[in-house]
Amino acid sequence: MKEDISRRPRADKACRPFYRISIDMIQLQEHREVCYNGDVWALHAVCEYTKFYKICTLRNRHKATVVPALIRLINKIERVYGYQVAIVFMDGDVGYGRAEANLGSSAQEELSSASIKVEIRSPDTPAQLGGAERAGAIIVTAARVIRIHAGLPKALANELICTAVRLLNVTPTKALGWRTPQEMVTGVRPDLSRLHVIGSRGFLLNKHLLRGDKLEKRTFEGFFIGYDASNIY
């Protein structure tokens, strides 16, 4: 039987940043393997209008973990960028789409109570969530290339996938007229002067040396793996 996928454009197409976001989960590690801090999953969102990515890493995909993370992600969008999310498009995953018995409300119920419309894709039709699926593939590909080029271990997958998202948000995109997603959201071209090669050597000042230990090394040596902010590495 041939599968037919509707290509009709949305009737309520997004007309501003974060009007509609699509969310999905990314598995970071194989079964029984975890990142250095215990993370295994990543929850990511992509803005339909600006192609801007947001991501957070999680230790599991249980509803008690995923739903608060999704709410925090949406609240951060509103707090940092000043845009209110109107529609969230997701699949019917147990973690955030459906309510589980005796485990509190689902993400759908939480978002609806905050006057955010929730759109659920039809069962067994992942193509309907194509925006988030493609975004996930782009993020994973970028993180993989970064890891291989830098020669870093897979245990740092959670850090590298967040770094990939930050770099994608400041990368010119053809669909946006070669503007960056960050520029579409903020109206300002991103400052790329603080970008560094992932995997390059870095040195951290050791502030806990004993006063009399004059010949001990003054720094810890490490490798650059990402950003906490524009000038915090």
The per-residue pLDDT for range 223-232, each reduced to its tens digit, is 888 887 666 6
Residue 105 DSSP SS3:
coil
Nearest 5°: the CA angle 59, 103, 57 is 20
pLDDT at 91: 77
Query: For the structural domain made of 20-186, what CATH number should be given?
Result: 3.30.420.10
What pairs with residue 120 in β-bridges?
A: 90
175 Cβ contact list (under 8 Å, min separation 6): 51
For tokens 């041939």, what's the residue?
A: 2
For tokens 């001990």, what's the residue?
A: 216
More confident residue, 79 or 97: 79
Mean pLDDT of 119-129: 65
More confident residue, 30 or 124: 30
Per-residue confidence band for 108, with pLDDT thresholds at 50, 70 and 90? confident
pLDDT at 9: 62
On the question of pLDDT at 233 being above 60, the answer is no
CA torsion, ordered 37, 42, 47, 53, to nearest 10 deg: 40
- For 46, phi then psi, to 5°, come to -130, 135
Identify residue 101 by its one-letter amino acid code. Answer: A
On the question of pLDDT at 186 being above 90, the answer is yes
What would the pLDDT profile of 140-160 be if each residue is shown by its tens digit?
999 999 999 999 999 999 999
More confident residue, 196 or 98: 196
Least-confidence region, from 2-11, 78-87, 119-128: 2-11
Task: Order the strands of the 20-27 sheet from edge to edge.
Answer: 53-58, 41-47, 20-27, 87-90, 117-120
pLDDT at 10: 65
Least-confidence region, from 46-60, 109-123, 136-150: 109-123
The DSSP output letter for 228 is S
Mean pLDDT of 162-187: 94
Residue 186 DSSP SS3:
helix
pLDDT at 203: 87
Per-residue confidence band for 176, with pLDDT thresholds at 50, 70 and 90? very high
Number of residues written out for the chain: 233
On the question of pLDDT at 202 being above 80, the answer is yes
What would the pLDDT profile of 57-77 be if each residue is shown by its tens digit?
999 988 888 889 999 999 999
On the question of pLDDT at 168 being above 80, the answer is yes
